[in-house]
Structure formats: C-alpha cells, structure tokens
Amino acid sequence: NAGVMQNPRHLVRRRGQEARLRCSPMKGHSHVYWYRQLPEEGLKFMVYLQKENIIDESGMPKERFSAEFPKEGPSILRIQQVVRGDSAAYFCASSPLGASYNEQFFGPGTRLTVL
C-alpha cells in the first residue's frame, strides 16, 4: 500500500531553468496540498488542489509558480525560471474526500537545488 509518492527526490537546476515536481496522492485521496520548507524552518502552505481544480493558491508566489492536478496522472508543481531563492524542500500531502477533520499525509519531498 503505497503512501504519497513524490519524484524526483532530488532535483538540481541552473538559474533560469524550469523545475517540475510530481506528486501522486495516496490511493483513495482526492485532495492534494503543496508545502515548501526552507532550511531550518517549518513548512509553509503553498496550494490546495482537488482533481482539475485549484481551491486555494494563496501561499504560492504570484509569478513563476503554478500547480495542477489533472483528471488523470499526478499533481505537478511547476517553477519557471528558477532562482537561487527557490532552493528548498517541496512536500506534497494528500487527504481523503469527506474527512471529518483535516489529517494530511506527506510524501518524502523533492529537494530542489538551484545553482
């Protein structure tokens, strides 16, 4: 029984390149969340998605960042024209539909390094 899966686990990009981070939620989960963790800091909410819908992207930078959760396939967090400040661990979490309170289960993360 697989948990939340993320790939790649490590990603190195040069400034100006694009980074694509993928997340497959737990089986039966239809809600996906993305968080960012800077070194020695807690996780910060970025975006909440359901299938084909962005519910809340208030934590996402206005430019260069986008997220999607298509009908088929994993959720994608896309960062265009990466800068050094984008270096961080990006975590995806999922939760089931109709949960009485919000328990989120996290993947192992993608560690992005921008050179």
Partner 1 sequence: TQLLEQSPQFLSIQEGENLTVYCNSSSVFSSLQWYRQEPGEGPVLLVTVVTGGEVKKLKRLTFQFGDARKDSSLHITAAQPGDTGLYLCAGAPMDSSYKLIFGSGTRLLVRP
Contacts with partner 1 by CB under 8 A lie at: 4, 6, 31, 33, 35, 40-45, 48, 55-56, 58-59, 91, 95, 101-109, 111
CB of 10 to partner 1, least distance (A): 9
Which CB, 55 or 83, lies closer to partner 1? 55
28: left (phi over 0), alpha (psi -120 to 50) or beta: left
CB of 106 to partner 1, least distance (A): 4
CB of 16 to partner 1, least distance (A): 27
Which CB, 39 or 72, lies closer to partner 1? 39
**Cα separation, 12 vs 1, whole angstroms:** 30
Contact status, residue 103 vs residue 4, Cβ threshold 8 Å: no
CB of 101 to partner 1, least distance (A): 4
